[in-house]
Every structure is written in C-alpha cells, then in structure tokens.
C-alpha cells in the first residue's frame, strides 16, 4: 500500500514536470536531449596519503570536508577506511590522525552541536563492525576525533551503510539519516547527554526499496536526497513528521545516457543566495553528474577527473564538496572524491582521496557553474 502511494506520488510529480509548461528546464526532462558539453575533464590538484589496507583492496570510501573558520588553510578532510577506521588529512593530503574504530562505511559532519558543556563540530559514521551509528567530536586545534557516543546506537537495519546529518531550521534539532544495505532508512534524533556526550533515538523509518548508500540533507531547504544505487535519486522532506512522500530527480537514472550505475555518493554545493548543485558519483562510468539543487533539479551536465600530475579517478564511492574559502591553495572551495584505483602512474597503490579546486569544475560548463565562497555553514 505504502509503495503504491509512493509510486502514485512520484508519477504525479513526474507528470507535473512534464506538463507544467512554465519552466525552462522542461526540454532537459525529455530523454536523450542532454545539455551540450565541449569539455568534461578536470584534474586533481592534491591526493591524500593512501589508506592502510591489503594492497589495492577496496577500503577508502567516503570523505567529509571540515572548514576551520579561524584559519581556513587548516581545514581538514576526514575519510572512512572501511577496513579499519577514520582518517584525517590536511589540505595538502598529509594524514595527521587515524582512529581504528571499526569498519566505518560513510561519514558526514555538522557544526556547533550543543553538548551539555560546550558546542562541538561533530562527525557521524556508520560502523559495520557493530551495526551502529557512531558520533565523534572534532578537536579544532589538533584535528583529532573523539568518540562521544553514549549508549550504543545500534541500528535495526540489516547492515548500516550510508549516513547523512541534518540540522533542522525549524527546531534546531540535529538528525542522522542512516541507510541499510537492504533498502531501509532510519532517521535518528540526536540529543546531548548530561556528561558531554551524544545519544539518539529512531524517530522515523522509510522503505527506499533496494540498496541505497549515498545520501545528503539540505539544511537550507529541509530536503533529503537519497541515491537508490541501481534506480535513481529520490528527494524526501527531512523533518521527522513529514511522512514517506518522495519526488524523483529527473534524469538521475539510466534514461540519462551519461549516468551509469551504481549511483554512489551525493554532495551539495551551496551559494549565499540559496542556489547550488546536487552532485552524484556515477560509479559505472567514472564520472559525476550535476543537477540544480533546488526547483526542478535540472540536469546540468557531467564530468570526470582525468590524469595530470596526479592519476585519474575511477569507480568513486563517496564525495563531498565545499564552497568556502580554504586558504590560498583553494580560495574557491573544493570537490573531494574517493579514488577506487589509486596509482603512481604505473603501479597500483592503496586507495586514497583526490582534491579538485571547485573553480576548475565550474569552468567546464557554459555558462559556468556558480563560484561563491560567501555561503557559510
Ligand atoms: Ca568501492
Ligand atoms: Ca555502494
Ligand atoms: Ca561505497
Ligand atoms: Ca586513480
Ligand atoms: Ca596517486
């Protein structure tokens, strides 16, 4: 019954898109009429220290960018090594911290969580060793991560997979969305404990359908985007009382010839005026597809990361993007991706993360994508 309702709602939305008639993006909704692209390849400027694993095995997965607003050049990238723990890197790629907390799959972060004794920037990760959601605090001075989870936040999903954090503008509550390999989704409300930690309770459960990993929440608009790996991207409302209604993102499926499953990581680029982009890793053809973040979610185009001084990028799992000024090396923000096949040009090394300046991606498109470092989280 619920599924039927979802389908009916989705079809209704799709019809609205097709017959609305007022939106300039309608031509893009038709199959096979993709935007013209002349250039679609950028190169990475920095790559991180490879993760520790058995040689070359699939281990690195999902990055998150933490902005140091006191000294943006000291911003950090936190990445998962699904064979062992969380890694922290400087913007020059150097690993400065590692915590072996288990088989952590995905990661997300938010600023200013009100703990009982202070505010902390927090990281959420899905730990497959224990089938839990785990919360850590970022030490802004050292880049170290400290586990502040209270009571084991054990999921009832069959196997925890993706994670996204959401801070509600309506209630100021913080939530974590967790996907499971079986196609389910849990929404956890996070709460401070009296001893300076964080605990949580499940306040909403959704059936996505099939395996879903990548997801991201937009605190500005109050929406959650979920990538059902072999199907398409869905949009839900992020507030816990908003039910199961969902909207499909047009051209996020195989009707778009530039997309090849799996749909993996999702990330949001924000601008001050509220516009921006939704980016997805199209793992099957080593590329990234860009949609408008708002409105009708028009498909803008796709690109990949080719070889330059640093090797090209293949089979990306997780991604993150940040619009902020991050010092002289990256004054217009960065796009960070997992590289499924890291090499030194000839030999296979362990996997790592690649960093691309945002402006080099923006320049690929005509008109160029927006470059706006003024939105602050
Ligand atoms: Ca992989
Ligand atoms: Ca996956
Ligand atoms: Ca993955
Ligand atoms: Ca590579
Ligand atoms: Ca390399």
Residue range 288-335, pLDDT digits in tens: 999 999 999 999 999 999 999 999 999 999 999 999 999 999 999 999
Cα of 309 vs centre of ligand 5, distance in Å, is 9
Whether the pLDDT of residue 192 is over 50: the answer is yes
Provide the token pair at 17: 């898109």
Residues in the 5 Å CB sphere of ion ligand 3 = 61, 317
Confidence of residue 30 (pLDDT cuts 50, 70, 90): very low
Buried b (16+ CB within 10 A) or exposed e, 99-112: bebbbbbbbbbbee
Q: d(Cα 111, Cα 149) in Å, to the nearest integer?
A: 16
Rounded distance from Cα 353 to ligand 4 centre (Å): 9
How far apart (Å, rounded) are the C-alpha atoms in residues 266 and 19?
Answer: 28
**Rounded distance from Cα 335 to ligand 2 centre (Å):** 19
Q: Pick the ligand that lies closest to the CA of residue 211.
A: 2
Query: Does pLDDT of 353 surpass 60?
Result: yes
179-184: average pLDDT: 96
Nearest one of 138, 176, 277 to 220, comparing CA atoms:
277
Which residues are CB-contacts of 144 (< 8 A; sequence separation ≥ 6)?
Answer: 88, 97, 99, 138
pLDDT grade, residue 34 (50/70/90)? confident
The rounded Å distance from CA 67 to ligand 2 centre is 26
- Give residue 122 CA to ligand 3 midpoint distance, Å: 21
What share of the chain in percent tops pLDDT 90?
88
Indicate which ligand has the atom closest to the C-alpha of 345.
5
pLDDT of residue 7 exceeding 90, the answer is no
pLDDT category at 21 given cuts 50, 70, 90 is: very low
Where residue 37 falls among pLDDT bands split at 50, 70, 90?
A: low
What is the whole-number distance in angstroms between the Cα of residue 318 and the centre of ligand 1? 9
User: For 152-171, what is the mean pLDDT?
Assistant: 98
HSE (side-chain half, CA atoms, 13 Å) at 241: 4
Tokens of 87: 């890694």
Find the 220 Cα to ligand 1 centroid distance in Å. 30
Using the predicted structure, report yes or no on whether residue 140 has a pLDDT greater than 90: yes
Mean pLDDT to the nearest integer, 84-98: 98
At 289, list the tokens: 């597809």
Q: What is the mean pLDDT of residues 192-210?
A: 98
Q: Provide the b/e sequence for 265-299 (b: ≥16 CB within 10 Å).
A: bbbbbbbeeebbbbbbbbbeebbbbbbbbbebbbb
CA 78 – CA 119 distance, rounded (Å) = 19
Burial of residue 243 (number of CB atoms within 10 Å: 0-12, 13-18, 19+): middle
Rounded to an integer, the average pLDDT of 190-207 is 98
pLDDT of residue 24: 30
Ligand 3: distance of its center to the CA of 74 in Å? 27
Two structure tokens written together for 168: 């509600």
- Mean per-residue pLDDT over the chain, rounded: 92
- C-beta of residue 308 within 8 angstroms of C-beta of residue 317: no
pLDDT at 363 (0 to 100): 95
* Distance from the alpha carbon of residue 341 to the mean position of ligand 1, in angstroms: 9
For the beta carbon of residue 336, count every other beta carbon within 10 angstroms.
Answer: 26
CB 337 within 8 A of CB 351: no
Give the pLDDT of residue 38. 53
The answer on pLDDT for 210 being more than 50 is yes
Contact 278, 225 (CB under 8 A): yes
Please give the distance, rounded to the nearest whole angstrom, from the Cα atom of residue 219 to the centre of ligand 3.
23
Query: CA–CA separation, 95 vs 87, rounded Å?
Result: 7
Position 39 scores a pLDDT of: 59
């Amino acid at each position: 019954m619920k599924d039927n309702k979802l389908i009916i709602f989705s079809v209704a939305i799709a019809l609205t898109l097709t017959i609305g008639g007022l939106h300039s993006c309608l031509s893009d909704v038709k199959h096979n009429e993709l935007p013209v692209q002349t250039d679609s390849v950028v190169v990475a400027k920095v790559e991180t220290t490879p993760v520790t694993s058995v040689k070359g095995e699939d281990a690195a997965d999902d990055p998150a960018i933490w902005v140091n607003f006191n000294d943006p050049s000291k911003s950090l990238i936190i990445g998962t090594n699904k064979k062992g723990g969380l890694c922290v890197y400087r913007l020059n790629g150097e690993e400065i911290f590692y915590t072996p907390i288990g088989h952590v799959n995905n990661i997300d972060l938010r600023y200013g969580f009100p703990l009982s004794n202070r505010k902390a920037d927090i990281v959420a990760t899905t730990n497959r060793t224990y089938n839990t959601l785990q919360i850590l605090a970022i030490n802004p001075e050292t880049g170290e991560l400290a586990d502040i989870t209270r009571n084991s936040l054990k999921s009832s999903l069959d196997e925890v997979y993706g994670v996204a954090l959401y801070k509600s503008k309506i209630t100021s509550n913080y939530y974590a969305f967790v996907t499971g390999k079986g196609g389910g989704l849990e929404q956890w409300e996070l709460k401070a404990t009296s001893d300076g930690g964080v605990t949580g309770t499940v306040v909403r459960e959704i059936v996505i359908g099939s395996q879903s990993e990548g997801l991201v929440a937009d605190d500005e608009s109050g929406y959650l985007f979920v990538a059902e790996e072999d199907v398409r991207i869905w949009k839900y409302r992020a507030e816990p009382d908003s039910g199961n209604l969902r909207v499909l993102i047009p051209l996020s499926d195989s009707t778009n010839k530039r997309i090849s499953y799996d749909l993996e990581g999702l990330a949001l680029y924000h601008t001050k005026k509220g516009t921006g982009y939704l980016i997805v890793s199209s793992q099957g053809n080593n590329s990234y597809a860009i949609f408008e973040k708002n409105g009708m979610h028009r498909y803008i185009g796709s690109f990949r990361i080719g070889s330059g001084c640093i090797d090209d990028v293949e089979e990306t799992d997780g991604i993150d993007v940040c619009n902020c000024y991050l010092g002289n090396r990256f004054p217009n923000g960065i796009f960070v991706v997992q590289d499924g096949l890291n090499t030194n040009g000839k030999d296979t090394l362990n996997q790592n993360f690649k960093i691309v300046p945002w402006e080099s991606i923006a320049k690929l498109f005509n008109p160029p994508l927006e470059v706006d470092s003024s939105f602050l989280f």
